[in-house]
Every structure is written in C-alpha cells, then in structure tokens.
Amino acid sequence: MSDGISARQAALGLLTSVLDEGMLLQQTLSDPNGPLAGLNPSERARAQRLCQTVLRHIEQADATLAPFLRKNPPKEVQNILRLAVVELAIDKAAAHGVVNAAVTLMQQGRKTTHSAGLANAVLRKVATLPDLFAAFPAQRLPYWLRKPLVDAYGRAVVAQIEAVQSQAAPIDLSTRAPASWPDLGQILPTGSVRMAPSTQVTAIEGYDEGAFWVQDAAAAIAVNLLSVKPGARVLDLCAAPGGKTMQLAALGADVTALDISEPRVKRLNKNLKRTGLNAKVIVADALHWQSDAPFDYILLDAPCSATGTIRRHPDLPFVKDGAELEELIQLQAELLDRALGWLKPDGQLVYCTCSLLPEEGEWQLAAALARHPNLQVMPIGFAGLDPAWLAPAGGLRLRPDHWAEQGGMDGFFMVALEFKH
C-alpha cells in the first residue's frame, strides 16, 4: 500500500492492542506476527510514532470530534478518526492527504466501511478549525495515579508533568568517554547527550564502534551516586537492558549484572558486545541467587510501576491500573533487604525505581531505615546536580517536569545507602 496507508494501518493495530487488548506496546512491537510484520524500517518507525502520538492526545482528539458526532462511533471507527485528528493537530499534515487516508482506511475495514462518508464529512470540518487542541489542557493521568501524585506534589506540578508527557521524548545517550559532541546534540549538565526524538541512533557516527548507548539522562544519574573505583566488585541487580551495567563497566569496575528475564539479558549481552565492555552476566531470580563473595557496590534498580517513564511509554496509563502496586512494594523491600546482605561492611548501595509514587521511593527508604537501624543515607554530590532534585529525607526525587524546557526527564527516586561505622 502507498501514501502511508501501511504505516497508518499498523498504527491502528498497535492502538487496538493497547486500548482493547490491554497489551503493553513493547510486547506488541516485539511480536514477529504483530501489526508491524512485513513493514520496512521506515514504515515501522512511522507506525510506532503515530500510535504513541495518538495515545498522548486521545482526550484532545475525542473532545475535538465530539461536536461533530451525534453518538460515540464503534471503537474501530473512533480510532481511525483519532489518528486523523492527531495527524492534523500535531503533525500539521496536509488536510487532503489525511482525510483521503482516513476514508481509505474506513473502506478497507469490514467493520468500518459504512463509516467512510462520516469520516470524510467530519474530518473536512475538523480540518477547518483553527489551532487544533490549543483550547484543551494536556492529557490527564488516570485517577488511580493522578490522585496520589497530586497529594504528593500538588496540582500545579502534576499539570506540568502532564504537559511534558504530552510531547515526544528526546533521545538521551550515555557515552563511554566524556561527551564531546555539541554538534550532534545538547550536552546536558549531568553529561548525557540529548538528541531530537526523531534521531536514528544507528546512523550516528560511533554507534557501530560502541561509543555510546541509549539511556535516559535521569536513569544515568544513579551511577553518579556511587563512588565506584576501578577494579571494585559491583553488582547491578535487575540490570537489563544494561545501561547502568555499561556505565559501571566503563568506569573500570568488575561488574556482575543479574536479571531474571532471559530475553532482556539477550539485549544486555548484545549491548555489551557492541560497546566492547565486559561484565559477568547472570540470568537468575535475585531472591534465590547466592553470591560467592560480598560486593563493594550494589545498584538495585528495582521492579516498579514505571510511572516515571510515561513520557517514553504513553501506553502505560491505558494498560496499568495500579493493581500490582502492593505486590511490587513487597518485592522491592525483599530485594533491598537481600541486596544489603551482599554488601561489604564499608560498601555502598543505591536503591532506585523509575516511579513517581512515594510508596516505591521515599516510603521504601523510611521503611528500610526502620528495619536496619545501622543503615544511613549518604550525602549526594556530582556534576550537574540541581538542589531542587534533593528529597527532604535523603536521596533524589527526579520528575518529568525537571528540565522541562529541554524535554524533561524520566521520573525516579534514588538514594545511596551505607552501614554506619
């Protein structure tokens, strides 16, 4: 199919998997028989981008369409209309091309062919509206997540987070050596290199030589909380896909990277091979694995709700409902306690989660300090540290609205711990 119909059709398939089947987008993207099957790389990238853009703007698209619809159309029809409206509003695509594509998509579907005329009439009217979406606020987070975030940070901050999440996230790179590529991207205060969202990473000079890897700037900060020395024994728990493992290896550490997921570990090994960095990689459940010797440093990026990564994964609010939170909080505590048992007496441990929820961050810290009276929070200091990131009880509270003008960052809680001497 020509004129971008194939990519749009695939985008609709991705939307269906998220909105109707409750599938995480990453699961569908990795399915060899999924909606992207048979597409060339350019079409695959466009389909994924279109799907993510619609997911970021469903509320605005529906509000724009509502005055022109007497009733809610079937979901298959609604998704085609949403896609078209988002292309008009966000991509600023030519109206005739968008309308024609939507009509074609309607005609091709057994459940939608009767709505081709509706699409033509409605979208031609929408295309005449000035400043599409300008009158609407950024898409709101679901209630189960928004309420605790408002309680924790206030409505104004949550609105700023939602505004950042409505934009396509830039691509951040970590480098083997200190970044020196101002002509390719923005060097952030913490040392990461920031590229435009549309950047084709594999085409950047140095990719094949392993000079860098993709890693959100906030995620890269966790290693800065450890004073890792060359040759030190370091354990990276829940390590895949390996961004922090590569950071640690690049510092000259003797790294053991452990993860429970074999498919994710394959990605980690692939990344290590490309960068030429070394680590001992283990596929195991950390709750049952036994170490043969203690470690100087441990980094635990614990499984969590991933609510800090919505700017990169706009499907999460449509798939998750918070039901797994209690189980995750218990797992985080168990992993933290177990990791502390592998630490040398003078060792350091970083606990972090890519979550915005205090239950998975600040509250976990308070509970750990209560369980381990001889544990203490370490002071934090590194290049690029913004005092606004410091959490009142210790550690860092990173939010998507930090660096908002530069595209934000993923949300994290992270803290460095050591035993009192």
Show which residues are catalytic: 354
Integer angstrom CA distances of residue 281 from 238, 245, 267: 11, 10, 11
CB 320 within 8 A of CB 213: no
* Of residues 50, 104, 47, 116, the one with CA closest to residue 77: 116
| Amino acid in position 100 | N
> How far is residue 261's CA from residue 410's CA, in Å, rounded to a whole number?
23
Phi, then psi, of 239 in degrees rounded to 5: -80, -30
Nearest to 369 by CA among 394, 342, 391, 341: 394
Cα 396 to Cα 391: distance, rounded to the nearest angstrom = 5
Is residue 272 within 8 A of residue 217, CB to CB? The reply is no
Contact 265, 286 (CB under 8 A): no
Tokens encoding 327: 């189980």
**What's the CA gap between 105 and 6, in Å, rounded?**
10
R_g of the chain computed on alpha carbons: 23
Please name every residue paired with 376 in a beta bridge, in sequence order, or none if there are none: 418
